Structure 1
Amino acid sequence: MPPESSIDASHDDFEYESPFAQLLGLRHYPAVDGVGLASMTIEDKHRQRAGVVQGGIIVALADYAFHLACETRLGAGQTAVTVELKVNFLAPAKDGELRAAARIVSARRRIIVCDVDVTGKDNELIAKCLGTYIVSGQAA
């Protein structure tokens, strides 16, 4: 996985890809060579009753990074959509930054498999994910 510094939350070179990403505050960075990097700052709106980040938010961040990694393998006119996503939640996230580093494990003509580490404060591993994506459309 890329070093933590490669997705420093203070970095100004991020962009919001979609209204959904903007709603959740998901930031992404330039994806290169099958690696997708995303981050977010934990806010009150991300927490559930127990005061920790709701699992769906962590999954959204992971899926966002997955898609960024997949885009590095797509041609013009192609897209990749999630067909399966497995998540192991390993520790609660309470405050600070969450970072997701996704990398492609296997890329075939129609199927891409990625894994992602979601880390939090002090680079603690919050979640480990494995996703499968199907490629649609014809490469130009």
Structure 2
Amino acid sequence: MPAAAAPVMSAPEVSAYLDEVFPQIKSNGDNISVRDVAAGTALVRLEADDKHLRPGGTVSGPTLFMLADLAAYAVILAHIGRVALAVTTNLNINFLMKPEPGPLDATATILKLGKRLVVTDIAIRDSGGELVAHATATYSIPPRN
């Protein structure tokens, strides 16, 4: 397998760009951040609290889905640059455990970076390192002029 491409944006740059083009991510007070970017990967953390819970006191499926989608978007932006109109075309997620409130880390890895499509793999882990959800996401990249 060829070596992963180096990112073109750092974690702080991706975070700042997300704040600029996608401010609704934090509109309900979510504590979510791009923690790290490296060749082919990005780490996004959500501090899940009461507003992310479903009945029974565990983090909801929609919250995990949002975290997976955002991690995919972050790793893609980190590697293609400021392309706000890259959009999700497919996202499949498997919920493996019922996570408790607290930090959830989503590590997104680029599986294939093409000219028009990017395929990613996302692992979401709880604070103990347990895999709570696994997702794959495909994004469409708009043509560059």
TM range (shorter): 0.7 to 0.9
Task: Say whether the 8 Å CA contact 2:96–2:132 is kept in structure 1.
Answer: yes
Output the TM-score relative to the length of structure 1.
0.80
1:119: which partner in 2?
125
1:74: which partner in 2?
80
Change in Cα spacing, 1:53 to 1:77, as seen in structure 2 (3 Å) is closer
CA distance in 2 between counterparts of 1:84 and 1:92 reads 23
Q: Which blocks of at least 5 consecutive residues in structure 1 are unaligned? A: 1-12
Q: What's the % identity of the aligned pairs?
A: 27
- Pairwise CA distance, 1:96: 1.9
1:5: which partner in 2?
none
Output the TM-score relative to the length of structure 2.
0.78
- For 2:110, the aligned partner's letter is I
Would you say 1:52 and 2:58 are equivalent positions?
Answer: yes
Would you say 1:21 and 2:30 are equivalent positions?
Answer: no
RMSD: 2.1
* Corresponding residue pairs, total: 127
The 4+ residue runs of structure 1 with deviation greater than 4 A are: 13-16, 75-78
Q: Which blocks of at least 5 consecutive residues in structure 2 are unaligned? A: 1-11
Change in Cα spacing, 1:138 to 1:68, as seen in structure 2 (3 Å) is same
CA distance in 2 between counterparts of 1:92 and 1:54 reads 8
